Amino acid sequence: MNKEDYAEYTDRMKKTLDVMQTNFAAVRAGRANAAVLDQIRVDYYGTPTPINQIASIASPDPRTLTIQPWDSGTMKLIEKAIQASDLGINPQNDGRVIRLAFPQLTEERRKELIKQVRKYGEESKTAIRNIRRDAMDAFKKQQKKSEITEDDLKNAEKDVQKLTDDYIADVDKLVSKKEKELSEI
């Protein structure tokens, strides 16, 4: 078995890690971070559009985000989308700019965020294990069609398991790093 046989599965596992890190960026950690708005979509002329495509987002201080729409008609739409999201922050609208004030994290909220991070980690591990299962099934089908030998199948299973273990270890490292980051705030 050569490296090309595993490239598809390696790419899929890497994408799983990327998705997890994107989800981590959206976890509100007490500081104003424009990434928390990435998952929020505004119904802009019938199309779900990310806020950063219809407004400029700035962080004038560590605990505040300002959103200034390019089209003032979208002000109410942006405000409604933020309220409907699970961000947990009430937007303040002064007619020109929407302000999001991030409160200090309480111990209770910090624990909730850590639970959320662990949930993202578990979802990623499940996705990686599903990719492993897909790879094993594909190699077993190849062996049934006599495209690979039984020894090749055993080696492939061993290699895919090693790949899976490596990516799950990466998930664990990233989760513990994010947990530590949250507990230090």
Selection from 26-30, 88-92, 148-152 with the highest mean pLDDT = 148-152
Average pLDDT over residues 77-98: 82
Delineate the domains of the chain, giving CATH numbers in brackets: 4-25+106-183 (1.10.132.20), 34-101 (3.30.1360.40)
Q: Which of 41, 93, 31 is nearest to 67 (CA)?
A: 93
Sort strands 47-50 and 92-93 into parallel, antiparallel or unpaired: unpaired
What is the tens place of the pLDDT at every residue in 124-166?
A: 999 999 999 999 999 999 889 888 888 888 988 999 999 999 9
User: DSSP for 74-99?
Assistant: GHHHHHHHHHHSS-----EE-SS-EE
The SS3 call for residue 57 is strand
Q: Which of 158, 173, 159, 168 is nearest to 130 (CA)?
A: 168
